[in-house]
Structure 1
Amino acid sequence: MGDRAKLMREENVFKLFLRFSIPAILGMIVQSLYNIVDRIFIGNIPGTGGLAISGVGVILPITFIIMGFAMLFGIGSGANISIKLGQNKKDDAERIFGSGFFMLVAAGILVTIIGLLFLDQIVNLYGADDEIRSYATGYFRIILYGNVFNTIAFGLNNIIRAEGNPKIAMYTMLIGAIINTILDPILIYGFNMGVEGAAYATIFAQFVSFLWSMSYFLSGKSMLKLRKSYVRFSRALVLEIMSIGASPFAMQVAGSVIGIFMNQNLSTYGGSLAIGAYAAINSVVTLFFMPIFGMNQGLQPIIGFNYGAKNYKRVKEALKVGIISATVVCIIGFILIQTIPHVFINFITKDPDIREMGTVGIRRFMLMMPVIGMQIISANFFQAIGQAKKAFILSMLRQVILLIPLIIILPKIYGLIGLWTAVPIADGMATLLTILVLYYQIRALNKAEENYREERKDEIEEHVESKLGINI
């Protein structure tokens, strides 16, 4: 632990950010290829028009909830582990690891059972009509079969990163995505399995990622050990994990709820093909946002460790580096989306109606992209320092509090264009409120830094007095 702790405390913050974030960014981009590659191949299945990708598009917001449970216990465990390691409490970190692992397994099994029992009702709730229902249910049923392995693999990936091994975490996602990309065309076209082939490719890749993650902890290479005696339900530890994991979990659930409203309005104002256009837009947006999420993952252990060690100066430096980097990426993405949106949409699907809807929609959808990076990084910052309530509220601003009313109201006035426009309005308002909250938090950090300096000064003076026998 010594070398990694020294690295966290002393390495140049920007270099440390690159060290942790680049593998995380590459891993997240690769991870996003799971869904994007599926949609590319599905969107080009001969004879289905745009219905196949529309069917999978219905499933997208459902997978948000599924992934939410992995985030609840995976990110929650990782953030707490980083703080405990910063406090030099390795045993406490391993206890959190054990309880987090137990909950990942339990959540994965529970979600699978509920999903299979209420499969048809869930698919109908999320807007599947008679044209696309068979595609949606066929894909979703198979995805549920592999859910346990995906939940565990995602959670372990966050813990690997929290203990200071971002490259291993990247390899976990890289292996799965490569396997998925290879198997997709073989199963979809070679074996003529269509949408279900894409689903089988995904769950097999997730299973391999699970095996890789488990082998890392069971082989003795990891700093933290998965101790059998710690793998159990501990109410206190689970609540501690959930207090931080609640924010990303809520974001995923909110995204799923938004999906219900979006799909229902898309069906009303644009039909099944509009749902397909939304799926294509989400694929492109996800690809651009993955670097930001990767930065978040890279920043989390840096901020959490140094916050736990009371090194507030490095905490602020890491936040500044993250915001600037995310903003640069978002500005580049904004320019590309506004100038050549058709290039990205065409890459997802060749259906002319979906391409036309998607090209118009994505330009409006991402009007506030230049400021979103700052909002996402800031919300994650509060999560990393253990302020779960603030992280939760800031996350909910974009996803629920501001967006749902706009999704309900604007389409009634402006139709499909109003639906696309609701997102940037919510993004802009959420960013302004986030800036205000962050301003007061920085002031609090400055005060905490001053107090800590005074405490250290008093401790040094007392130590000198005791050694020399004099008053300073």
Structure 2
Amino acid sequence: MRVSSRAHLAGFQKATAAAQYLRMTRRPVPALILSLCFPAVVSNLVTTAYNLTDTYFIGRLGTAQSGAIGIAFSIMTVMQAFGFFFGNGSGNSMSRELGKQHNDRAARLLAVGLAGAVLAGLTIALLGLVTLPRLVFVLGSTPTIAPYAISYLTPVLCAAPMVCGSFALNGLLRYEGQSVFGMIGLVTGALLNFLLAPLFIFILHMGIFGAGLATAVCQTISFVILVTLSARLGVIRLDLRRCRPDALLNREILGGGLPSLIRQSAGSFAATCVNLAANPFGDAVIASMAIVMRVMLGANSVIIGLGQGFQPVCGYNYGAGRFDRVRRGYWFCVRLATATLLALAVGIGVFAPDLVELFRSDPAVVKVGSAALRIQCVTMALGGFNMMSNMMQQTMGKTVIASFLALSRLGLFLAPAVLILPHVFGVTGVEMAQSVSDVLTFVVTIPLQRRVLMGLRSGRITRH
């Protein structure tokens, strides 16, 4: 009976994989991307909701507590970095293998990706908990902020294996073309967080520790849901017995995931640089920039979701040799992303003070935060071209170019800008650093992306 049940499940998933291949390589590209990007956008907004929920409720506690969220942001970004590294590293290759209809190898990539993410999270948890009292100061904390940062991060670090695993599985399901399952897992956790955060913070009087505990509990629940959905309903069945890495498979994961790891690690480094640059100006500036980073993350999550809807289409069709569909999908996403960012920039610019005051009503925080938001809105629309180009090259396995572009925006340009400009312009230098980085990234992306697009048009490009 058990053997029959397994055979039935295997047959069901084989038929599902065949149907998914036809869908990804035959359905009209714009409609296909839109159907895939909606769950991805929702998933990203949910991830942002985790952050904004804590920012909102903790903002009711005080300015120092709000500043603690800015310090914690760097650690959370590292967890995302390793989750994305294994999720995108395995997922990029997995989608190409599915496009070639090599389903057994795709199943191995799925198992190795999840196992690697969980082990990475366990390492982060152990190292973070041991060094936490010193680590918060390295990340830019002031003596008044440090105790709150430690209280918030302690339960979050305990849940790091589940956090990394959730980000990885969300990506892996998305590369299968099953982004709706990732949405279900993350939305469930977010809704619980909206309930648990105020319960723990205010009703049970746990303060900022309660906010961290709520996040840890909800991320764990999301992880359990995602594992269950992947094991039972994924295009390829999650089976950890297939976790058999070899040198070639590890190289594929490294190549596919390195741009994500660089992008997220650079984001953590840039956030730390922002905290260090804001540190001399006091807790209010640190708190305001923490709020600005969360608001901009929410806006960018919409565009990242669009790109994530494009990535499985890109991977399947690149693997299948349908380069015309890859190019068509890319330009559709660039146009849609640019228009969306322009609309968001206008809305954020107009309501900047209200957005900041929503999280913290301190006049000093509102003044700095609203100015920073408006400056960043000026160049926000450039992110559509920058982001889609980077994600396309990553999915195609162009590791060197994708890694360079991932490092450029937050590492090569933003980090130096945020450390240099404040010495010239004071607080305004902190506020304008992101816009300077956006412009420079746009300039270097144009020639690199043009070369790849010409290769796709002529057909003189190799599949991995």
TM-score, normalised relative to structure 1: 0.92
Cα distance 1:72–1:437, how it changes in 2: closer, same or farther (>3 A)?
same
Q: 1:236 matched to which residue of 2?
A: 248
Give the SS at the match of 1:118. helix
Note the residue ranges of structure 1 that are not aligned, 5 or more in a row: 453-472
1:40 matched residue in structure 2: 56
Q: 1 CA distance for matches of 2:358 and 2:272?
A: 26
Alignment-mate amino acid for residue 125 of structure 1: V
In structure 2, which of residues 187, 191, 208 is the aligned counterpart of residue 195 of structure 1?
208
- Whether 2:430 is the aligned partner of 1:430: answer no
Deviations 1:59-102 (A, max 9, x none): 11222112111111011111111110001100110111122122
Corresponding position: 1:84 with 2:94: no
2:205 is paired with a residue of what secondary structure? coil
**What CA distance in whole angstroms lies between the structure 2 residues aligned with 1:407 and 1:286?**
18
Deviations 1:353-402 (A, max 9, x none): 21121111211133210111110111111011111111111111111112
- Displacement of 1:259 in angstroms is 2.0
Is the aligned partner of 1:300 residue 2:316?
A: no
What corresponds to 2:225 in structure 1?
212
- Cα offset for 1:306? 0.2
Q: Matches of 1:58 and 1:291 in 2, distance apart? A: 24
Q: Is the 8 A contact 1:100 1:238 kept in 2?
A: no
Residue 282 of structure 1: CA displacement? Answer: 1.1
Per the alignment, in what secondary structure is the counterpart of residue 459 of structure 2? helix
Pairwise CA distance, 1:215? 1.1
What do residues 277-298 of structure 1 show as CA deviations (whole Å, max 9, x unaligned)? 0011112111111111111211
Contact 2:141 2:279 (C-alpha < 8 Å) held by counterparts: no
Runs of 4+ in 1 over 3 A off after TM superposition: 232-235, 449-452
Rounded to whole Å, the distance in 2 between the matches of 1:16 and 1:324 is 16
Structure 1 residue 451 displacement after superposition: 11
Which residue of the partner structure matches residue 80 of structure 2? 67
Q: What CA distance in whole angstroms lies between the structure 1 residues aligned with 2:114 and 2:29?
A: 30
The 1:9/1:449 distance shift into structure 2, 3 A limit, reads farther
Q: CA deviation at 1:158?
A: 1.2
The match for 1:377 is 388
Distance (Å, rounded) in 2 between the aligned partners of 1:87 and 1:186:
49
Q: Does 1:21 align with 2:29?
A: no
Within a 5 Å distance, the mapping from 1:330-409 to structure 2 comes to: 330-409=341-420
* Cα distance in 2, alignment partners of residues 195 and 382 from structure 1: 40
The CA deviation at 1:263 is: 0.9
Matched, 1:6 2:22: yes
Conserved in 1, the CA contact under 8 Å of 2:284 and 2:365?
yes
Evaluate the alpha carbon distance shift between residue 181 and residue 450 of structure 1 in structure 2; reply closer, same or farther with a 3 A threshold: closer
Contact kept in structure 2, 1:56 and 1:136, CA below 8 Å: yes
In structure 1, distance between residues paired with 2:192 and 2:39: 19
Matched residue pairs, number? 447
Could you tell me which of 423, 427, 432 is aligned with 1:421?
432
Counterparts of 1:146-165 in structure 2, within 5 Å, are: 146-165=159-178
Contact 2:95–2:175 (8 Å) recurs in 1 = yes
Q: 1:250 aligns with which of 230, 242, 262?
A: 262
What amino acid maps onto 2:438 in structure 1?
Answer: D
Please give the alpha-carbon distance, in whole angstroms, between the structure 2 residues aligned to 1:451 and 1:27. Answer: 33
CA distance in 1, matches of 2:214, 2:426: 37
Q: Distance in 2 between matches of 1:35 and 1:373?
A: 23
**What SS is found at the alignment partner of 1:402?**
helix
Structure 1 Cα separation of the partners of residues 51 and 192 of structure 2:
13
Q: Does 1:259 align with 2:271?
A: yes
Q: Among 159, 179, 182, which residue is 1:166 paired with?
A: 179
Query: Separation in 2 of the partners of 1:215 and 1:404?
Result: 40
Matched with 1:58 is 71
8 Å contact kept, 2:231–2:239? no
Task: Say which of 126, 148, 153 aligns to 1:113.
Answer: 126
| Contact residue 61 and residue 256 of structure 1 kept, 8 A | yes
Residue 403 of structure 1 aligns to a residue in which SS? helix
Report if aligned partners of 1:102, 1:233 keep a CA contact under 8 Å in 2: no
C-alpha displacement of 1:236: 2.9
CA contact (8 A) 2:108 2:244 kept: no
Contact kept in structure 1, 2:55 and 2:359, CA below 8 Å: yes
CA RMSD, 1 decimal: 1.5
CA contact 1:26–1:170 (8 Å) conserved in 2: yes
Instruction: Find the partner of 2:239 among 212, 217, 227.
Output: 227
Question: Offset at 1:403?
Answer: 2.1
Say whether residues 1:289 and 2:305 are aligned partners. no
User: How far did residue 302 of structure 1 move?
Assistant: 0.3
Query: 5+ residue gaps in structure 2?
Result: 1-16
Greater Rg over alpha carbons, structure: 1
Report the counterpart of residue 458 of structure 1 in structure 2: none
- Farther off after superposition, 332-341 or 273-282: 332-341
Per-residue deviation, 1:41:
0.5
Take 1:359 and 1:447, find their aligned partners in 2: how far apart are those partners? 47
Q: Percent identity?
A: 26
Q: Which residues of 2 match residues 179-194 of structure 1 at below 5 A?
A: 179-194=192-207
Supply the distance in 2 between the matched residues of 1:11 and 1:382 (Cα, whole angstroms). Answer: 22
**Could you tell me which residue of structure 2 aligns to residue 313 of structure 1?**
324
Please tell me whether the aligned partners of residues 455 and 461 of structure 2 are also in contact (alpha carbons under 8 angstroms): no
Aligned mates of 2:251, 2:130 — CA distance in 1: 28
